[in-house]
Amino acid sequence: MDTPWTHTTVLLEEAVDALQATGSRDTFVDATFGRGGHSRAILDRLAPEGRLIAYDKDAEAVAEAARIEDARFSIRHQGFKHLGELAPASVGGLLMDLGISSPQIDNPARGFSFRFDGPLDMRMDTSRGESVAEWLATAEPQQIAEVIRDYGEERFAVQIAKAIAARRQERGPVSTTAELAELVAGAVKTREPGQNPATRTFQALRIFINAELEELQQALEASLSVLKPQGRLAVISFHSLEDRIVKQFIAKHSREVFDRRAPFAQAPEMKLRSIGRIKPSEAEVQANPRARSAILRVAERTGAPA
């Protein structure tokens, strides 16, 4: 189904270049299909014998993927925490674009943005799980504060949680994005220039309700199993919590760690080789402001090719 919402893929050429897919006969994975910009670019470069497997929890993304008529391509209506179900050492390149797509943000019915009034949902997969509104209707104020503080790095988390609880007691649960944004604006006393007071709270609730950081950690661990030797891992993150996890994961597995308590023991095998960190160009940020916070980190699975 056509919609008025469009999506511009961030770091398109840089990410696909990092995978080294040109002319490859290997299997590649786009772990977050979105609206398919990266997937289509990978397919353009693969050899006829190559294969691309994509994942996405969003039913609208899966519907968009169904429009790709290419026998080398398949889509799975799953989150990328299921990557570990692939055969060991079967993947030549793995891409994770951790940003939410513009159609998700711009469609008021999805409830991701405080810029539009809509139901307070925020689920990537609307066919399962509870919405943000449903969770806020029953969660304890302390739980709400912890989520907003931990996932939004919001220093006014306690005040926001108290405002949500008071509103719930006086007039019933918060059910729309506009209601939540108004509550947050009343509780947040100061904010960085140019940033909406609700930015951090909306980010936190979205990350929490979709278990995004937990799923990212599972997928990164799975990458060590499914990548072939010299297979590439490329991850695009958009905020510090995600990027910190990716950076620390690559660093952890890119060095030999010696146990000082057992100085003569053999060090664990180094599993990754860090390739680098790439930011969008000034031209890309000017053309697509949503790219400004993106960071692409690339690593290569160690070991000799089969």
Architecture of the CATH domain 126-209? Orthogonal Bundle (1.10)
- pLDDT score, position 266: 58
Is there a contact between 99 and 15 (Cβ–Cβ < 8 Å)?
no
Q: What is the pLDDT of residue 189?
A: 81
**Hey, which residues does 187 pair with through a beta bridge?**
none
Spatial strand order of the sheet with 51-55 comes to 73-76, 51-55, 27-30, 91-97, 227-237, 295-301, 272-278
Residues of the chain with pLDDT under 70: 1-6, 256-268, 306
The answer to whether the beta carbons of residues 291 and 284 sit under 8 Å apart is yes
User: pLDDT at position 2, please?
Assistant: 41
CATH architecture of the domain formed by 12-103+212-301: 3-Layer(aba) Sandwich (3.40)
The confidence score (pLDDT) of residue 265 equals 53
Q: Dump pLDDT digits (tens) for 185-219.
A: 999 987 777 788 999 999 999 999 999 999 999 99
Which sequence spans correspond to the domains of the chain?
Answer: 12-103+212-301, 126-209
Single-letter amino acid, residue 103 = P
Identify whether the C-beta of residue 89 lies closer than 8 Å to the C-beta of residue 229: yes
pLDDT one-digit tens code per residue, 98-151: 988 777 887 888 988 888 899 999 999 998 899 999 999 999 999 999 999 999
